[in-house]
Amino acid sequence: MILHTINKVAGLALCQHLIAADDKVVLLEDGVYLGLQPLAFSICAIRLDVEARGLVGRLKEPVELIDYSDFVSLCTEADKICSWF
């Protein structure tokens, strides 16, 4: 499994063609704003960043909210991590 992290809205344009069906995507920092739009793949978002921006309950389904310990677990499970910023 490849883990993609996106920390800016513009980051999606860089990686939209690079995300395979069995990859996982984590939105963090300003990247969580991407959760406001419908996305073609399933994603997780860092809860702290979502709460800070007042987006709880405003994100499109299915965005799964995770905390930092979940994020660390995902990182350790991943074969490699790609950061899009």
Partner 1 sequence: MSSMLFVFSRPPHGSINAQEGLDALLMGSAFTTCSVLFVGDGVLQLVAGQSTDALGTKNFSLSFGALKDYGVTRIACSMPDLLARGLNKSDFLIEVEPLDAAGMQALIRHHDKVLNF
Find residue 63's DSSP bridge partners.
Answer: 43
Instruction: Give whichever of 20 and 54 is closer to partner 1, judged by the CB atom.
Output: 20
Per rule CB under 8 A, is residue 19 in the interface with partner 1? yes
Contacts of 41 (CB under 8 A, 6+ apart): 19, 21, 23, 25
Q: Which of 2, 9, 39, 48 binds partner 1 (CB under 8 A)?
A: 2
Number of residues that bind partner 1 (CB under 8 A): 14
Per rule CB under 8 A, is residue 80 in the interface with partner 1? yes
Residues near partner 1 (CB under 8 A): 2, 13-15, 17-20, 80-85
